[in-house]
Structure 1
């Protein structure tokens, strides 16, 4: 051996754990060449994994060997065979390639005399040991990862909305990162509404600052990590497991499963919102008095460059109204719905009383969910008994068990997220205060509201379309609560000054109507 190329390699993982270093390998190889009078033609330093030969520096070395001018016998020296390769199949292939161009691979700490046929046995041992080490290391790593997941830890790079952090003792964990966490919460809330599809929500979130590509977005909205659940995939005889995570969830489990229902098409989507200009708040709520089709709205440019807005029907129907006339008429009509302090107080008292007396609905829903949980547990118990008596085979029992566990997990999440009675009472009382405040001065509130809030208010008042004929309007029926308010307001004049307002001193027409606890936005 008169000359050789030196190859030194280390992986980052080994460099940290075992203390291997490129300079140390290089120094030993140079000392070996000096002691054996070997000319060093080049040194190639690699910091790359040896699972295959797709390595930058090895590619350069192989290219140099193939393009050398003199095709004399050449050598590649390294410390051990695990520096050359950790895959026995690829190692034999590369040895064959090197022999084809007149190059011999040699390890100075594990020398092989290729002139002796029996030495190939030692080569097989040297090459197989690193691959066996890799296999064992992979199994240990996988086992450690499964243990961490079963403990509720997220072991990968933090998903959108989270960040990787470490405890003082070095243990890793993830925690919400703002403002991404709030944006992800908003994403799930919008998806649950069903107004927009996933791609539309992604684009809206992108405009708000959430940088996420389409493919990754679909993955993260399917990931239960956001509701505090870690998925442990099946392995050998173990089934898939859903473990409560140690990190803080961004959303509730019920919201996550609600979004999954929308994405899977199991829940009917809400109709698309009608977009309207500020000057046309009633667009989408007006019905043509002639052909009873929906009126649309548009603006026309006048002679002096001004724009005039109209509500109008299709081309065949000539029905047309000035937008200002209709809007002003509607604003005057709102005065009929203004709540006096006495009516507002009565409305709140009656609704709260009815809500408390009918709060059994929440209890009934809890009982309903508890009944479903018992039903799933009975199915699972029955399947277990049939499996023990050989009525069903192992595959059928496994399928039934998986299906029941999934149903139980979703039902228990819904039961856990149901609000308690006190929280519900406070929530309803707060909503009523908002409704009474708005309807106590509804005309002013409507005029100062933006186009979106105006349309919400109109939609909450009229379940069916309005029909304006130029002088007045007709509608099939009002919202039940507002219809009652009109009747109460019309009876106020008959109540004596200082007399307490109650259903006893209202007209029989009002008393017969009763009241429905309907909460408006």
Structure 2
């Protein structure tokens, strides 16, 4: 720990070696402070979010974070464990007890990485996880459908494991629990799912039609916004006229120069505020359209995304497209419900 006055810490400045996600810096007036290290902070925030969402246990999250960090030393297991309990990440610094003073927290001058609510939620998960919450299990690459598949015979969830042959080769299976004997080769199940995704892929022109329909619907639901735009444009026109009137009056000696400049200043300020509102309203529609276009490209190639994605991506595709469990009958997957947007985009053109 750097030797610094306690008053500096009480001011909310972190004075030690920057923790994971931050970097030490010195201001122009020679004061020490910490700033966010973007690459580390993004990964650490991801780890926090995964624990709060209860997606994986802490050990698994550390391994994934370590992998994403390409083995950087600062993402050691101890670094992660310390970070999970450190209130510094939600903007607080602890002042330890000193003489007759009790310990207390102060608001840090550094930029917090997460909100106080997320930090509180994180502590709740860590405190009760062992007794109440059962974190989801990271499945093997070959068993990405595990916890999504139900047995077609007894309707129980299928589990999965690997079996090693006498030649040392591993074979993967989805299977039901005893006494049900349902068992499928994982390779067959996985390939069947990719084939079905390919078959479901939107036909030519369907994405363009869906985007057009979505934009039309979006425009209909934003009529109020469009009316507001018209109102703002009219107000700007009126203010522009008001802006030029003092100039004419000043030129005709009907208004003092100072009064003319004051009216111009006030009017220009009002115009700039309205122009800001107008730009904000216009950008919303543009952002929505760009967002739809970008993400629908992924939807159009869901089979390729699934085949080439990691376990997290594969499971995200399954859960977003099929909100209920899948049943594999030995040939194909069945489900009682498909995401409604997926159904619209993926159906044949003749059905539209």
TM range (shorter): 0.5 to 0.7
Residue equivalent to 2:234: none
Question: Given the alignment of the two structures, is residue 481 of structure 1 paired with residue 341 of structure 2, yes or no?
Answer: yes
RMSD between superposed Cα atoms in Å: 4.5
Q: Using the TM superposition, give the Cα deviation of residue 461 of structure 1 relative to its aligned residue in structure 2, in angstroms.
A: 1.9
Choose between structure 1 and 2 for higher RCO, CA contacts under 8 A separated by at least 6 residues: 2
Please tell me whether the aligned partners of residues 284 and 294 of structure 1 are also in contact (alpha carbons under 8 angstroms).
yes
> Counterparts in 2 of 1:338-487, with a 5 A limit?
338-352=201-215, 429-486=289-346
Which of 189, 195, 202 lines up with 1:332 in the alignment? Answer: 195
Q: Using the alignment, how far apart are the partners of 2:75 and 2:198 within structure 1?
A: 47
Residue equivalent to 1:284: 147
> Counterparts in 2 of 1:90-489, with a 5 A limit?
145-146=6-7, 148-149=8-9, 151-176=11-36, 180-198=40-58, 201=61, 208-210=72-74, 214=78, 220-230=83-93, 242-243=106-107, 245=109, 247-251=110-114, 255-263=118-126, 271-278=135-142, 280-300=143-163, 308-352=171-215, 429-486=289-346, 489=347
Q: Using the alignment, how far apart are the partners of 2:57 and 2:191 within structure 1?
A: 36
TM-score normalized with structure 2 length: 0.61
Q: Using the TM superposition, give the Cα deviation of residue 176 of structure 1 relative to its aligned residue in structure 2, in angstroms.
A: 3.9
Q: Using the alignment, how far apart are the partners of 1:270 and 1:356 within structure 2?
A: 44
The alpha-carbon distance between structure 1 residues 195 and 303, as it changes in their structure 2 partners (threshold 3 A), is: closer
Could you list the per-position Cα deviations for residues 458-502 of structure 1 after superposition, in whole angstroms to 9, with x for gaps in the alignment? 22222222222234443221222223334xx33x237xxxxxxxx
Structure 2 residues without counterparts, runs of 5 or longer: 223-279
TM-score normalized with structure 1 length: 0.44
Please tell me whether the aligned partners of residues 92 and 108 of structure 2 are also in contact (alpha carbons under 8 angstroms).
yes
Structure 1 residues without counterparts, runs of 5 or longer: 1-12, 14-140, 360-419, 495-505, 507-521
Q: Using the alignment, how far apart are the partners of 1:173 and 1:467 within structure 2?
A: 56
Q: Using the alignment, how far apart are the partners of 2:288 and 2:135 within structure 1?
A: 26
Q: Using the alignment, how far apart are the partners of 2:65 and 2:201 within structure 1?
A: 38
The alpha-carbon distance between structure 1 residues 335 and 165, as it changes in their structure 2 partners (threshold 3 A), is: closer
Q: Using the alignment, how far apart are the partners of 1:449 and 1:212 within structure 2?
A: 26
Q: Using the alignment, how far apart are the partners of 2:212 and 2:102 within structure 1?
A: 57
Please tell me whether the aligned partners of residues 183 and 210 of structure 1 are also in contact (alpha carbons under 8 angstroms).
no
> Counterparts in 2 of 1:24-39, with a 5 A limit?
none
Secondary structure of the equivalent of 1:289? coil
Q: Using the alignment, how far apart are the partners of 1:323 and 1:427 within structure 2?
A: 41
The alpha-carbon distance between structure 1 residues 150 and 465, as it changes in their structure 2 partners (threshold 3 A), is: same
Q: Using the TM superposition, give the Cα deviation of residue 218 of structure 1 relative to its aligned residue in structure 2, in angstroms.
A: 5.4
**Structure having the higher Rg:** 1
Secondary structure of the equivalent of 1:321? strand
Q: Using the alignment, how far apart are the partners of 1:328 and 1:199 within structure 2?
A: 31
Secondary structure of the equivalent of 2:205? helix
Please tell me whether the aligned partners of residues 190 and 201 of structure 1 are also in contact (alpha carbons under 8 angstroms).
yes
Q: Using the TM superposition, give the Cα deviation of residue 421 of structure 1 relative to its aligned residue in structure 2, in angstroms.
A: 8.1
Could you list the per-position Cα deviations for residues 326-355 of structure 1 after superposition, in whole angstroms to 9, with x for gaps in the alignment? 333323322342123532133334445656
Please tell me whether the aligned partners of residues 337 and 442 of structure 1 are also in contact (alpha carbons under 8 angstroms).
no
The alpha-carbon distance between structure 1 residues 150 and 452, as it changes in their structure 2 partners (threshold 3 A), is: closer
Q: Using the alignment, how far apart are the partners of 1:323 and 1:353 within structure 2?
A: 43
The alpha-carbon distance between structure 1 residues 197 and 427, as it changes in their structure 2 partners (threshold 3 A), is: farther
Q: Using the alignment, how far apart are the partners of 2:141 and 2:189 within structure 1?
A: 15
Q: Using the alignment, how far apart are the partners of 1:299 and 1:211 within structure 2?
A: 30
